[in-house]
Structure 1
Amino acid sequence: MSQEPPTDRSALDLYEPIDVLKPVAPDLWIVDGPRIGFGVGPFEFPFTTRMTVIRLRNGDLILHSPVALAPALRSAVELLGPVRFLVAPNSLHYWWLPDWKGAFPDAEVLAVRGLQERAKRQIAVDRLLVADNSPWPAEVDLLVVRGDVLTEAALFHRASRTLILTDLIENFEPGRIHSWFLRLLVRLAGAADPDGKAPLDMRLSFFRRRRALRAAVRQMLAWQPERVIIAHGRWYDKDGAAELRRAFRWVL
């Protein structure tokens, strides 16, 4: 598996401008980053990337699924507050985290169990994200969703009622994909906008854990999110709970 930017830069449009803080709600931003390649050899496919930045009430910043570290982006983030937490929400979303750790050595690295064994870069994890034991219980809820292939940590920012996912929902916009083969794969996987969801292989990986996943989705719905941020494709800036029900109808 490669997680370096792919050489084919025409297959997938970026969510420009990239490397720029985009306000979502008070104390919440996203940053759309560069492409990243996933796969092996000729089967490597480009994915867009997205980071979420949460500012806690004390001013500390949480960087969820960090994108590539660009000088201007670093400066913009530093103006928001001190970077205290770097979050690898699953075993695929970590590639640029060591770069941010190098820039902010005092930041605490939080990750799901198993990341260090699977990562292709060396990562020192300070704290594991486990079950619903949030490191910020007064402001951000945590829910770790465990699958046979992928374990993902979902965050819910209470003040803005925003659910932050990574790969549990993917929602690629066909009009942004310029490779017919990639468009076909996205549609076959069930990850195409406007009906994006977990890709087929991931849904199959939850076959033995459907009951636990169903309980997790019901907890997400109980939070009544107004919006849902995802890492790949169009995210949901409204009707968050309805989009959750649609995207997870295969397990509810």
Structure 2
Amino acid sequence: MPDALERWQVMPHGVLEEIDDGILTVPGEIVMPLGRFPRRMTVIALAEGGTVIWSAIALHEPEMARIEALGPPKFLIVPNRAHRLDAKIWKQRYPEMQVIAPPKARQAVAEVVAVDATDDIIGDLAIAFDLIDQKTDEFALRVHRASGTTLIVNDSIGHVRHPHGLGAKIMARLMGFGVKRPQVPRVIRRMMIDDPKALAAQMREWAALPDLRRIIVSHGDPITHDPAGELRRLAAKLEK
């Protein structure tokens, strides 16, 4: 798999689901030997018009039309250096879109697409950025709606309940991507996290949000059952 696609190439994906007012999410798959590994894109409508694209995935035209109907893409968030596969082709399609990447990921992301900022330039009061500052940092978002808060994280939590194909099943289990329940993937903990207690503290802060409704992860299913409890459980495991 290349670091970045050069043309609009649609890999297998599902349909966009509106999980809250102006928040769409769609599962996709990366084709790999003996299976397909799940990934996920999330789209957030801005109060003043337009949309934010989190961890871009090229979709078929009917689904792209749904995004454009919600609002033209104004910001593309590449949440860490590993999620730049579709960034270039999205920027080609929407050249006015601004690209945001975490500070430590800026150089790697800039190899495939110009980075406009490494912090929050969106300016929407309903969207709050968090930076998970580790070996390889990544963003998380808190999106506020009348019904509650949606937490969007990237690789720090996996919830791959339905890997497709033998290769994907082996990968998900060996690397600890949360086949049975949400998990900090073992491969991510080894390669990206140098301060588990700091990440645990961040998870406890998220768990304390009084209106936390769900967690969207970039690999796997959204966490909708007791998201605060799952965060506290993961924090306790990190602190051991």
TM-score, scaled to structure 2: 0.83
Once residues 66 and 145 of structure 1 are traced to their aligned partners in structure 2, the CA distance between those partners, rounded to angstroms, is 20
Structure 1 segments, 4+ long, off by >4 Å, are none
Q: Say whether 1:223 aligns with 2:209.
A: yes
The alpha carbon displacement at 1:198 in A equals 1.9
8 A Cα contact 1:190 1:196, kept in partner: no
Q: Say whether 1:152 aligns with 2:152.
A: no
- Superposed displacement of residue 156, structure 1: 0.5
- Deviation sequence 1:62-103 (CA, Å, 0-9, x none): 111110143333222111112111110111112112211111
Q: Per the alignment, do residues 220 and 137 of structure 1 end up closer, same or farther by CA in structure 2, a change over 3 Å counting? A: farther
- Flag structure 1 segments of 5+ consecutive residues without an equivalent: 6-13
Within 5 A, what are the aligned runs for 1:18-167?
Answer: 18=14, 20-37=15-32, 46-119=36-109, 122-129=112-119, 135-136=122-123, 138-148=125-135, 150-159=136-145, 160-167=148-155
SS at match of 1:236: coil
* Conserved 8 A contact 1:197-1:248: no
Any idea what SS the aligned residue of 1:127 has?
coil
Cα gap change, 1:70/1:219 in structure 2, threshold over 3 Å: closer, same or farther?
A: same
Residue 237 of structure 1 pairs with residue 224 of structure 2 = yes
Q: Could you tell me which residue of structure 1 aligns to residue 175 of structure 2?
A: 189
Structure 1 residues 213 and 176: CA distance shift in structure 2, 3 A: closer
- State whether residues 140 and 156 of structure 1, in contact with CA within 8 Å, keep that contact through their aligned partners in structure 2: yes
RMSD of Structure 2 on Structure 1 (CA) = 2.7
Structure 1 residues 202, 33: closer, same or farther in 2, change over 3 A?
closer
What does residue 237 of structure 2 align with? 250
CA–CA distance in 2 between the matches of 1:66 and 1:206? 21
Q: In 2 relative to 1, CA 98–185 (structure 1 residues): closer, same or farther, beyond 3 Å?
A: closer
Map Cα deviations across residues 169-220 of structure 1 (whole Å, 9 max, x no partner).
11222x54331x5434432333233223121122234663233223322222
Q: Give the match's secondary structure for 2:64.
A: helix
What is the percent sequence identity of the aligned residues? Answer: 27
Moved more, 104-113 or 199-208: 199-208
The alignment of Structure 1 onto Structure 2 pairs a total of residues equal to: 230
1-side partners of 2:125 and 2:76: how far apart? 18
Distance in 2 (CA, whole Å) between partners of 1:36 and 1:221 is: 34
In structure 1, the partner of 2:157 is 169
Candidates 204, 209, 215, aligned match of 2:195? 209
2: CA distance, partners of 1:124 / 1:3 = 15
Change (3 A) 1:185 1:73: closer
Deviation of 1:161 (Å): 0.7
Give TM-score scaled by structure 1 length. Answer: 0.79
1:157 deviates by 0.4
Helix, strand or coil for the counterpart of 1:193?
A: coil
CA contact (8 A) 2:204 2:235 kept: no
**Structure ranking higher on relative contact order (CA contacts 8 Å, 6+ apart):** 2
